[in-house]
């Protein structure tokens, strides 16, 4: 007789066989193993957790690793951070006038055509308060390793410029400053114009360069003085217009009298020919 027993452990099969022959019982065991591999998924973890970064044109970021090594990447460029790399964060002053009460955190530094606006309160020689709304245009130049050395470049720029503007305005009367505010401020920040060009103002601290300034508004703090200046301007304009009008009348009279004389001369010539 043959007795077969089957047992499965992880797809392993054991078969037992017994047979009898010639007056005695002989047991024989045969083990047959069949193994089926489980289903597997191979994962490529080379870029697992990597951060892809798109740096726009005219922007830059500074990348720092755990060892403290730094590198600056300028756009346009797409980069992939290593597992131990992070971005340097700038903390910029906000508001008008600019203050560091509320800071804007960003990893992106605009390196070209950057615009920083501010309101500067100054006092003139005759103790009149004036608010100046101003806009700076900024580029970052030179070695890009210096660009991130100042965390709040807005604060550095606005505080330094306020000091320069206040110093120069303190030497001006309110009337003179009101009439020449743009030229005075552009001269002190960008340098005097030479052949239509100005040098600009550079910062050695972080390679920042102010290449243009716009004076958007000048507001006299004292309402009465402001009204007097406006009235004075109106009076000057009215007188100038009156002078222009009189000059035109004189020119008209000269032309009219000249025409009369020419007509008389022609009349005399006609009489002489008739006589």
Beta bridge partners of 18: 27
Alpha carbon distances (Å) from 182 to 128, 185, 235, 265, 275: 18, 5, 22, 56, 72
Question: Which tens digit of pLDDT belongs to each residue from 6-23?
Answer: 444 444 444 444 444 445
> Consecutive sets of 10 residues in the chain, 275 residues long: mean pLDDT of each?
42 44 52 61 56 92 94 94 92 95 96 97 94 97 96 97 97 94 96 92 97 95 80 83 91 92 88 82
What is the CA 222 to chain-centroid distance, rounded? 34
Q: What pLDDT, on a 0 to 100 scale, did the predictor assign at position 214?
A: 96
Question: Which tens digit of pLDDT belongs to each residue from 112-133?
Answer: 999 999 999 999 999 999 999 9
Q: What pLDDT, on a 0 to 100 scale, did the predictor assign at position 50?
A: 64
Q: What pLDDT, on a 0 to 100 scale, did the predictor assign at position 3?
A: 41
Cβ atoms within 10 Å, residue 116: 20
Q: What pLDDT, on a 0 to 100 scale, did the predictor assign at position 237?
A: 83
Please report how the helices 223-274 and 174-190 are oriented relative to each other, as an axis angle in degrees rounded to 10.
100
What token pair was written down for 30? 């045969």
Q: What pLDDT, on a 0 to 100 scale, did the predictor assign at position 36?
A: 65
Q: pTM here?
A: 0.70
Alpha carbon distances (Å) from 255 to 122, 155, 247, 263, 265: 53, 64, 12, 12, 15
Q: What pLDDT, on a 0 to 100 scale, did the predictor assign at position 29?
A: 55
């Amino acid at each position: 007789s043959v007795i077969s027993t089957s047992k499965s452990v992880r797809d392993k099969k054991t078969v037992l066989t017994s047979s009898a022959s010639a007056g005695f019982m002989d047991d024989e065991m045969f083990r047959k193993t069949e193994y089926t591999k489980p289903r597997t998924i191979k994962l490529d973890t080379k870029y697992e957790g990597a951060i892809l970064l798109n740096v726009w044109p005219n922007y830059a970021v500074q990348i720092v690793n755990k060892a403290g090594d730094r590198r600056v990447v300028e756009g346009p460029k797409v980069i992939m951070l290593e597992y131990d790399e992070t971005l340097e964060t700038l903390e910029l002053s906000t508001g008008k006038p600019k203050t560091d009460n509320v800071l804007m955190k960003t990893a992106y530094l605009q390196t070209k055509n950057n615009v920083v606006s501010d309101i500067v309160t100054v006092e003139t020689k005759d103790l009149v308060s004036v608010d100046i709304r101003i806009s700076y245009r900024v580029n970052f130049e030179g070695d890009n390793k210096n660009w991130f050395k100042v965390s709040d470049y807005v604060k550095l720029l606005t505080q330094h410029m306020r000091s320069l503007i206040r110093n120069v305005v303190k030497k001006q009367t309110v009337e003179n400053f009101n009439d020449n505010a743009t030229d005075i401020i552009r001269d002190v920040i960008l340098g005097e114009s030479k052949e239509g060009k100005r040098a600009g103002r550079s910062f050695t601290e972080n390679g920042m360069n102010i290449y243009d300034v716009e004076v958007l508004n000048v507001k006299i703090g004292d309402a009465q003085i402001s009204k007097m200046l406006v009235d004075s301007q109106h009076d000057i304009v009215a007188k100038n217009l009156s002078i222009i009008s009189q000059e035109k009348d004189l020119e008209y009279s000269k032309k009219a009298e000249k025409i009369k004389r020419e007509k008389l001369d022609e009349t005399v010539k006609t009489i002489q020919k008739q006589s």
